[in-house]
Amino acid sequence: MTSLDSYRTLGRSGLRVSPLSLGTMTFGEDGGWGASPEASSAILAEYLDRGGNVVDTANTYTNGHSEKIVGDFFATRPGLRERVVLSTKFFANLHPGDPNGGGAGRKATISQLEESLRRLRTDYVDLYWLHGWDRRAPVEETLRALDDLVTAGKIRYVGVCNVPAWVAAQSQTIAHFRGWAPVTALQVEYSLLQRTPEGELLPMAEALGVGVLPWSPLRGGLLSGKYVRDGGAPADSPRAGRMSGPTERDWVVIDAVARVAAEIGVGSAEIALAWVRSRPSVTSTLIGARTPAQLRANLASLEITLTPEQLTALGEPSTPSLDFPADITAGPGPMLGFGGASVDGVELPVWPMLLDSSARY
């Protein structure tokens, strides 16, 4: 069993984070489906009281209201802000008509941070995330602006979200050779219903020393246990009513999760979260809640350790179809170089297309 205060080191850094991070996209009712400021504060307080130390928000969450709710919470609790890892994101343009109101150019990067700091009522953020890939901004410009912000003491660490693996790898390589602040962490959508990051993103992060924080580990609620075959979409919130229902392939995975949950005697959400947390590349999993009860259900996943048999029961029906060259690198690729020898405890047969090892030209 893992506890919320069983901290882990984030990537190749000295920053320690909880195994579950509190995402605050649900903070604020501005979109018609989130939590009120009072409920949000209760969720924050319970998460922190249990030992959690990562609070994740973004400038675009409820149009900045999420950041304000978080900032107001810490402003009334002197000294607590220093005890947490506070993170926010930039990229989204909150100023219609202003081409420099968002994106990842130097002007936009700095001005968005200043606005976030004002809403968060703090002098710095611990982790500043690029929220998306700006194809129009040179990566060197973005990285240098972020390095300047680290030097100025306004941010502590740099993260990237929702970017292709080659963009993250390019960024990390440039930062390394320029001596700039490195990419410490990566946010990706990852769950039993979204495993395609296993093709490029997760191996890249592991190889480059980047910590991984999956978002939407319940796939927008599809893995929460609320969806039942022939039962329609849950109507517990306006947001759920606007989402599309599961596909037949989704149902196969949802049913597998439900079977393992019934076997253990817990909810489907706990199983789905426990599976994500068990993945070797994952440092901390982002969870969200609209009520303290939902938060407690998510935190209960820390008490679950899945057996090898249960991991197989979940993994087989959710195995993704990955882009080229995933099949080659996972299968025949290593056989080309092993020559039938045992390397690092792995033994593979001789490449079958080697017709005659004695006939070499």
Q: Quick check: 333 pLDDT over 80?
A: no
**What distance in Å separates the CA atoms of residue 332 and residue 159, rounded to the nearest whole number?**
34
- HSE at residue 273, side-chain half, CA atoms within 13 A, is 29
Q: From the CA atom positions of the chain, what is the Rg in Å?
A: 22
Q: Quick check: 97 pLDDT over 60?
A: yes
Give the Å distances, CA to CA, from 258 to 55, 61, 224, 359.
30, 31, 10, 56
State the average pLDDT over residues 312-318: 97
3-state secondary structure of 302: helix
Give the Å distances, CA to CA, from 189 to 147, 242, 343.
26, 20, 33
**What distance in Å separates the CA atoms of residue 280 and residue 212, rounded to the nearest whole number?**
10
Helix count and strand count (H, E) for the chain: 13, 12
Between 340 and 272, name the one with better pLDDT. Answer: 272
Closest CA to 171 of 162, 181, 241: 181
pLDDT score of 219? 96
Mean pLDDT of the chain: 93
> Which region among 49-58, 128-137, 237-246 has the lowest average model confidence (pLDDT)?
237-246
**What distance in Å separates the CA atoms of residue 117 and residue 272, rounded to the nearest whole number?**
34
Between 131 and 355, name the one with better pLDDT. Answer: 131
Q: Quick check: 354 pLDDT over 70?
A: no
pLDDT score of 242? 55
What sign for the dihedral angle of Cα 123, 124, 125, 126? negative
Q: Quick check: 339 pLDDT over 90?
A: no
pLDDT score of 352? 75
| Contact present, 89 and 59 (Cβ < 8 Å) | yes
pLDDT score of 233? 60
pTM given for the model: 0.93
Q: Quick check: 55 pLDDT over 70?
A: yes
State the average pLDDT over residues 142-161: 98
State the average pLDDT over residues 27-55: 96
pLDDT score of 240? 54
Q: Quick check: 235 pLDDT over 60?
A: no
Q: Quick check: 159 pLDDT over 70?
A: yes
Residue 77's identity, in one-letter code, is: R
| Contact present, 284 and 20 (Cβ < 8 Å) | yes
3-state secondary structure of 115: helix
pLDDT score of 348? 78
Give the Å distances, CA to CA, from 211 to 154, 188, 226, 317.
21, 11, 31, 27
State the average pLDDT over residues 85-93: 98
> Which region among 64-68, 97-101, 290-294, 351-355 has the lowest average model confidence (pLDDT)?
351-355
Domains and CATH numbers, the chain: 8-220+274-302 (3.20.20.100), 331-361 (no CATH)
Q: Quick check: 151 pLDDT over 60?
A: yes
Closest CA to 53 of 91, 116, 115, 10: 10
Q: Which residues are catalytic?
A: 61
State the average pLDDT over residues 260-269: 97
* Band (200; pLDDT cuts 50, 70, 90): very high
Percent of the chain, pLDDT > 70? 93
Q: Is 21 exposed, middle or buried (0-12, 13-18, 19+ CB in 10 A)?
A: buried
**What distance in Å separates the CA atoms of residue 25 and residue 92, rounded to the nearest whole number?**
14
**What distance in Å separates the CA atoms of residue 126 and residue 123, rounded to the nearest whole number?**
10
Between 352 and 239, name the one with better pLDDT. Answer: 352
Q: Can you list the positions of beta strands (E) in the chain?
A: 8-9, 16-17, 20-23, 54-56, 85-90, 125-130, 155-161, 183-189, 211-215, 285-287, 342-343, 346-347
Give the Å distances, CA to CA, from 201 to 169, 318, 320.
9, 18, 14
* Band (343; pLDDT cuts 50, 70, 90): confident
